[in-house]
Amino acid sequence: MSVTGSSEGTHKVRCDHLRVPLLPGFSLVKRILPVLILSIRLLAVAGPTNYLLTRLRGSKVEMERAIVVRQVLERLRASAYADVVDRDAAEALAIGGFRVWWEVRQSTPTLKQVVVVSEGPGYVSGKWMAMARDTVVVNLADPRS
């Protein structure tokens, strides 16, 4: 420690030995800030990714359901017109992960309206359901008329 000053009573005390020398490199703030920014970016990417994966899974299930219903409709169209009759939920066809049954309504003597009900996994109103129901209505005409 050295004392400098004038004879007028003002003295400055220099404490060179108390000063911490600056070392080259990064400070703690410079290290934490990029990690914080990277974390925020990862969270920003993870949210939409989860939503997209959920919607992708929902699309896959909807496509499977459409294929199952289409299979049932092709069977009904291939059947003789007189053989197209109701099938109760208790006797539902099990295709894949879905159960399918139908109700036949005779609109006219030459036209039947078939209400096909499918039940299985599905994405409904923003949440997954184990037993979501979907209904398709199809008209079958008597080919003899």
Task: Name the domain count of the chain.
Answer: 1
- Hey, what are 45's tokens? 């990417």
pLDDT at 48: 85
Residue 12 lies in a domain: no
Residue 15 lies in a domain: no
pLDDT at 14: 67
pLDDT at 130: 87
Residue 89 lies in a domain: yes
Residue 115 to residue 74: CA distance in whole angstroms: 14
β-strands 93-95, 98-108 pairing: antiparallel
Residue 18 lies in a domain: no
CA-derived radius of gyration, the chain? 38
Residue 131 lies in a domain: yes
- Hey, what are 106's tokens? 């005779």
**What is this structure's pTM?**
0.65
- Which range marks the domain in which residue 99 is found? 23-141
Report the pLDDT averaged over residues 80-91: 92
